[in-house]
Amino acid sequence: MSGTLHGGEDVSPWIRRWSHLVPAGGTVLDLACGRGRHVRWFAGRGHPVVALDRSQEALDAMADLQAGAGGTRVQTVQADIENQPWPLMNGQAPQTFDAVVVTNYLWRAMLPTIVGSVAPGGVLLYETFAHGNASVGKPSRPDFLLQPGELLRACQDLRVVAYEDGFLADPPRFVQRIAAVREPLPVQPRAGAEPAPTRYRL
């Protein structure tokens, strides 16, 4: 599948690079999804997707997916998570997903909830602007820029498969990005056998 989707928006190379870590047919939460470039990417790969954004106009751009075009299953949720309670709950705990995807968005108060929304065996794919970006453009406010190592600290309860913190030239920007998995629930091995380690393909 091409990295360019309907509407001409490019899929993040980081998201495309690590999409294989999402369990086959697993549920995906695309947080602050915008007009749905990654919603389309994962729906096209056969994943049910929950698309969450505060902009109803952005969610309306995915009307064809909500209608079930091509057999996709996309649920849109309009919510302002910076000023309202977390909308995706399973009783008293956050609903969990086989993948949580976040790009170009940071609200520090929600980082524990975002990480907590990754199901056992699931993956967090996160990429956003980092410290230093003020030297090349916007966003420039510290509130919107990850500090060095911040994603690593947020994912301390997950297993980090890949992590980058640096500068990209085209377009110029400072980013941090991570692919981190929550280890699956342990399976009791046969008596005397060592448990087989999970293989996360690089």
Residue 194 lies inside a defined structural domain of this protein = no
Residue 200 lies inside a defined structural domain of this protein = no
Q: What is the CATH number of the domain that holds 48?
A: 3.40.50.150
> Chain-wide mean pLDDT for the chain?
90
Pairwise CA distance, residues 39 & 31, whole Å:
10
CA 114 from centre of chain: 9
pLDDT for the residue 196: 78
Longest pairwise C-alpha distance within the chain: 59
Specify the number of domains making up the chain.
Answer: 1
Residue 94 lies in domain: 13-181
Residue 3 lies inside a defined structural domain of this protein = no
Residue 171 lies inside a defined structural domain of this protein = yes
pLDDT tens for each residue of 131-170: 999 999 999 999 999 999 999 999 999 999 999 999 999 8
